[in-house]
Chain A
Amino acid sequence: MKLHLQRDSLMSAVAWAARTLPGRPTQPILAGLRLATTEGFVSLSSFDREVSSVAELATDAVAEQVVILPGRLLADIVKALPHDDVLLEWEGTRATIRSGKVSFSLPTLPAEEYPPLPADPQPIGVIPGADLARCVTQVAIASGKDESLVMLTGIRVEIDGPTMTMAATDRYRLAVQEVAWRCDDDTRQTNLLIPARTLVDVSRSMGQAGDVTIGLAGDAGAERLIGFSAQGRRSTSRLLDAEFPKYRSLLPTESTTEATMATTAVLEAVRRVSIVAERTTPVRCSFAGGELSMRAGSGDDATAEESVEISLAGDPIEIAFNPGFLIDGLAALGTAEVTMAFTEPRKPMVMTSEQAGAYRYLLMPIRLTG
């Protein structure tokens, strides 16, 4: 088989497909990038048994054939090609890549060992890529990194007809956001748990891609696979089979203190004072009068203080937080103003913004003394 390709479109297709090449493959064959031709097209894909990525390219293929090439090597070669025209050719156990005056010859991997790719999921709706990316970014900051708590490494996605609600928590904070989308069935109700890493990666890659089609595979109520596709790029991910915590009851329904302030001002202030805070030491916040004063560091160690103007409604409060968690929430908001609502120094703070829709970022404080 001989394919004439254009370097830049090949490079972007290979980059997309190579994203999900497993770093340490459970089977050697999974380190390969799979090329499958049909008349006029070639699709490039990788699969690590959890996640798959497929990119399609128009080319001068004349028949259906499959070849597996060493994935990382192919990606490195394609990135380095000197000329716009690329010729990709394979025959038996060797493949050749030519461009300008360079020629690479690489061994092919045994195609018969490559596991079947997951079937394309059934489309259930469409969401603008930018909306998907924004929602996922805001929620994913709260997802857990601890692989021993699998249910927390996912982003919970609740589809309720035209409304999609996403939630993630690592037990210390909880982020919830809603996003509108075009669902095929306004009565559709499904709850999914998608690995956060995959969802972040896919939404970031498809953020610029216009409309993203979402599909599901598996029985209704017991879906096994979610798929995303946009402009010739597709990705599937296995869903997590774990129970996400019942988070709705954690969302406070009332507050006794509400402070509104400029997001950038408080974000920069937290960043500054937390220079002296160690990874898990708190920033102490005092909301009183027209001021939020923050302190970090203690005793003989370095300390820092800064205050920010706020407009306060309700009782003054003194409360302490992990500065990294505060920064995550403030940075994810992306709005000019932020409102923080409290009840008690040992109860969660809720961060919202009028410009951020239904977004809520719950953060548990740090208890200062035993």
Chain B
Amino acid sequence: MIDDPGADEPSGHDADTVSHRVGDVGCTILHVDMDAFYASVAVRDHPQLRGRPVIVAAAGHRGVVLSATYEARAYGVRSAMPIAQAHRLCPSAVIVPPAHAAYAQASGQVMDILRSFTPLVEPLSLDEAFLDVAGARRLLGSPRFIGEQIRAAVREQTGLTCSVGVAGSKLLAKLATNAGKPDGLTVIPPADVAQFLHPLDVTALWGIGARTAHRLGELGVRTVADLIEVPLTTLERAFGANQAHRLAALARGEDPRPVVSDVPDRSFGAEHTFDEDVLDSERLTAMLLALCERTAARLRRAAVRGRTVVVKVRRADLVTLTRSRTLDHPTDRGQELYAAARGLYAGLRWERARIRLIGLRVSGLVSSAEATEQLTLGQADRGWREVDVARDRAVARFGEDAVTPARLLGGTHSARSGPHAGGMPVKPPQHPTPHGAGPPPGAPG
């Protein structure tokens, strides 16, 4: 970029808006958008193109512009424009074919950077994402500061520039980004929302498409300021109650949608290969319990719960079977996993088989915050969940043997004692209640 004040003064592009001088309290939503993403990647990878108008488009005259540098945009070239038209507008432009592998690689890098600031990252596309930094403020600083950090990190690590919008809702954050483009950072503090929104055309509001805009036009509404002026009853007559309320909320910059990070559908699991093949079903189910408890603890640490329980059993003759069951509700409780796993194991009817390996896997994960639980009649307000929380705390403080189901007392069942112990020294069996970790003496069990 020729004029690149952002490099030295990250918020240079919004210097002429009031937001620059006002705080960013209540602005916890960040919108990050790469500047002319495809074209910028092309320029980065082909430095000889720097400073020239560059258009990314598939070969052939029937293609459309996928991306264009700001030098090309200065001639009026826009995304989705037919190549022929773009060429007429800017005959000097260099047309380069898309390099999707490079975009994917750069995108992955950018998303990783964003996730290093907060796990609450909602990618919209390869080059665009929302972040909710409400929980990161204490650790990382104000939203504006986080936005600046992100811009610096992206520039250093990818050689690309991005623009950041900081506001109280997704709607406003996205508008803020566009206001600061390219290579800018814009904050819309709550006090400035009206001033920022009112001059905008209603079509700038996310969710107002051509048809709604047309019908608003019939009401004499063109700008957001016009829309604010329309009485709600008039909107209700024209659009119905729901849509009317939504339009009024949009005009005020309100957008209730939260930032939703996509939890990839991973799984958690553990398996154990016995030192020698095992026939004793008591020992096998105890190992299964240990695997369930260990997996449940990992689920809780990751703040997820799983619905599908998979048991894998390998016999001495290497015949391996897996069986799975989907629970009524997602769980992170070892006992619930074990109830399902034991049933699956029993269903194999391998009581007489020598077993070499037993494994457990939990998939169908949902974040604990989204997990729901059908309550049961007469259920105690405090129950096993509180036991698990207390146990996790004790384990975090005193180590893995601090609290364990009574059945797993005694060394032979420890899931950590086998060759898959990950290099952990094998501790001799010990009493599971170090001072302070267990219930007080005489407390009911």
What B residues does A364 contact at CB under 8 A? 374-377, 379
B125 to chain A, nearest CB (A): 14
B16 within 8 Å of A by Cβ?
no
Chain A contacts for B374, CB-based, 8 A: 172, 280, 322, 364, 366-367
Asked if A300 is at the interface of the complex by the 8 Å CB criterion, the answer is: yes
Q: B377 is contacted by which of A174, A299, A367 (Cβ under 8 Å)?
A: A174
Inter-chain contact count A-B, CB under 8 Å?
Answer: 59
B368 touches A370 (CB 8 A): yes
Contact A370 B376, beta carbon cutoff 8 Å = no
**CB-based contact B376/A171 at 8 Å:** yes
The yes or no answer to A119 lying at the interface (CB within 8 A) is no
A282: Cβ under 8 A from any B Cβ: yes
What per-residue 1/0 map shows which CB atoms of A287-320 lie under 8 Å from chain B?
0000000000011100001000000000000001
Which residues of chain A in 120-173 are interfacial with respect to chain B, using CB atoms and an 8 Å cutoff?
Answer: 169, 171-173
Chain B residues near A339 (CB-CB < 8 A): none
* Docked complex: B371-426 residues within 8 A CB-CB of A: 371-379, 381, 385
- Determine how close the nearest CB of chain B comes to the CB of A48; give it in whole angstroms: 26
B369 with A370: CB separation less than 8 A: yes
Q: Is residue A368 contacting chain B, with contact meaning CB distance below 8 A? A: yes
Query: Does B328 sit at the interface, judged by CB under 8 A?
Result: yes
Closest Cβ of chain A to B382, distance in Å, is 11
Q: List 28 A-B contacts (CB under 8 A).
A: A169-B377, A171-B376, A172-B375, A172-B376, A245-B377, A250-B378, A280-B328, A280-B372, A280-B374, A282-B372, A298-B370, A299-B260, A299-B370, A322-B374, A346-B375, A348-B377, A362-B377, A364-B374, A365-B375, A366-B373, A367-B372, A367-B373, A367-B374, A369-B368, A369-B372, A370-B305, A370-B332, A370-B369
The residue in chain B whose Cβ has the minimal distance to the Cβ of A251 is B377
B329 proximal to A (CB < 8 A): yes
**What CA separation (Å) do A245 and B379 show in the bound complex?**
13
Instruction: Please give, as numbers and ranges, the residues of chain A lying within 8 Å of B305 by CB-CB distance.
Output: 370
A282, A299, A300, A370: the one contacting B385 at CB < 8 Å is A370
B260 closest partner in A (C-beta): A299
Bound CA span A348–B377, Å: 7
Inter-chain contacts of A171 with B (CB < 8 A): 376-377
Per-position contact with A for B238-250: 1 when CB-CB < 8 Å, else 0? 0000100000000
* Chain B residues with a Cβ under 8 A of chain A: 242, 260, 305, 328-329, 332, 368-379, 381, 385
A280 to B330, CA, bound (A): 10
Q: Are B368 and A367 in contact (CB under 8 A)?
A: no
Q: Which residue of chain A has its CB nearest to the CB of B257? A: A299
Give complex CA distance A299, B371 in Å.
13
Q: With contacts A305-B242, A362-B377, A369-B369 known, what are 19 further pairs, Cβ within 8 A? A: A171-B377, A174-B377, A245-B378, A247-B377, A250-B378, A280-B374, A281-B372, A282-B372, A299-B260, A346-B375, A364-B377, A365-B375, A366-B373, A366-B374, A367-B372, A369-B368, A369-B371, A369-B372, A370-B385
Q: Is the CB of A280 within 8 A of B329?
A: yes
Would B377 and A370 count as touching, CB distance under 8 A?
A: no
Please give me the residue from chain B that is nearest to A281 by CB atom: B372
Closest 6 CB pairs of A and B: A364-B375, A370-B368, A171-B376, A367-B373, A366-B372, A250-B377
Tell me the interface secondary structure of chain B in the complex.
Answer: loop
Instruction: Report the minimal beta-carbon distance from B245 to chain A, rounded to whole angstroms.
Output: 11
Enumerate chain B residues within 8 angstroms of A320, measured Cβ to Cβ: 372
Assembled-state Cα–Cα distance A364/B374 (Å)? 7
Q: Are B381 and A370 closer than 8 Å at their CB atoms?
A: no
* A interface residues, tally (CB under 8 Å): 28
A174: B residues at CB distance < 8 A: 377
Q: What's the Cα separation between A250 and B305 when bound, in Å?
A: 29
Interface of A, secondary structure class, is loop
CB distance from A244 to the nearest CB of B (A): 13
Could you list which residues of chain A lie within 8 angstroms of chain B, going by C-beta atoms? 169, 171-174, 245, 247, 249-250, 280-282, 298-300, 305, 320, 322, 346, 348, 362, 364-370
A367 to B377, CA, bound (A): 13
Contact between chains at A172 and B377 (CB < 8 Å): yes
A369: chain B residues within 8 A (beta carbon): 368-372
Q: Measured between alpha carbons, how far is A300 from B263 in the docked complex, in Å?
A: 13
When the two chains form their complex, are residues B385 and A366 in contact, meaning their CB atoms are under 8 A apart?
no
Q: Determine the residue in chain A with the shortest Cβ distance to B307.
A: A280
Q: Which residues of A contact B373 (CB under 8 A)?
A: 366-367, 370
Residues of A within 8 A of B385 (CB): 370
Chain A residues in 8 Å Cβ range of B329: 280
CB nearest to B300 among chain A residues: A370
Measured CB to CB, the closest approach of chain A to B312, in angstroms, equals 24
Chain B residues, Cβ within 8 Å of A245: 377-378
For B370, what are the chain A residues with a Cβ–Cβ distance below 8 Å?
Answer: 298-299, 369
Instruction: Output the least CB separation between A261 and chain B (Å).
Output: 19
* Cα separation A281 to B371 with both chains bound (whole Å): 9
Bound Cα distance from A149 to B39, whole angstroms: 64
A365 to B373, CA, bound (A): 9
Smallest CB–CB gap between B129 and chain A, Å?
Answer: 15
> In the complex, what's the smallest C-beta–C-beta distance from A58 to chain B, in angstroms?
50
Q: Which chain B residue has the least Cβ–Cβ distance from A282?
A: B372
Cα–Cα distance between A320 and B371 once the two chains are bound (Å)? 13
| Distance in angstroms between the alpha carbons of A369 and B369 in the assembled complex | 5
- Which of B260, B376, B377 neighbours the largest number of chain A CB atoms within 10 Å of its CB? B377
Q: How far is the CB of B303 from chain A (nearest CB, A)?
A: 8
Distance (whole angstroms) from the CB of B263 to the closest CB of chain A: 11
Cβ–Cβ < 8 Å partners of B328 in chain A: 280
Chain B residue nearest in CB terms to A173:
B377
Note all chain B residues with C-beta closer than 8 A to A322: 374
What is the CB-to-nearest-CB distance from B300 to chain A, in angstroms, rounded to a whole number?
9
B309 CB to nearest A CB, Å: 16
With a cutoff of 8 Å between Cβ atoms, the chain B residues found around residue A346 in the complex are: 375, 381
CB distance from B370 to the nearest CB of A (A): 7
Interface core residue of A173, A245, A346, A364 (most chain B CB under 10 Å): A364
Residues of A contacting B372 in the complex (Cβ-Cβ under 8 angstroms): 280-282, 320, 366-369
CA–CA, A300 to B368, complex, Å?
17
Chain B residue, CB-CB nearest to A174: B377
Minimum Cβ distance to chain A for residue B259 (Å): 11
Q: In whole angstroms, how far apart are the Cα atoms of A174 and B375 in the complex?
A: 13
Residues of B contacting A172 in the complex (Cβ-Cβ under 8 angstroms)? 374-377
User: Taking each of A171, A173, A249, A305, which has the highest tally of chain B beta carbons within 10 Å of its own beta carbon?
Assistant: A171
For B385, the closest partner residue in chain A by CB is A370
Find the A residue at minimum CB distance from B375. Answer: A364
On chain A, the residues within 8 Å of B260 by CB distance are: 299-300
- Write out the residue numbers on chain B whose beta carbons fall within 8 Å of the beta carbon of A366: 372-375
Question: Bound state CA distance, A300 and B257, in angstroms?
Answer: 10
Report the Cα distance A366→B379, complex, angstroms. Answer: 12
Distance in Å from the Cβ of A160 to the closest Cβ of chain B?
Answer: 23
Contact yes or no, B371 A370, CB < 8 A: yes
Closest residue to B122 on the A side, CB-wise? A300
Give the docked Cα–Cα distance between A89 and B375 (Å): 60
**CA gap between A346 and B378 in the complex, in Å:** 11
Nearest A residue to B258 by beta-carbon distance?
Answer: A299
Measured CB to CB, the closest approach of chain A to B299, in angstroms, equals: 11
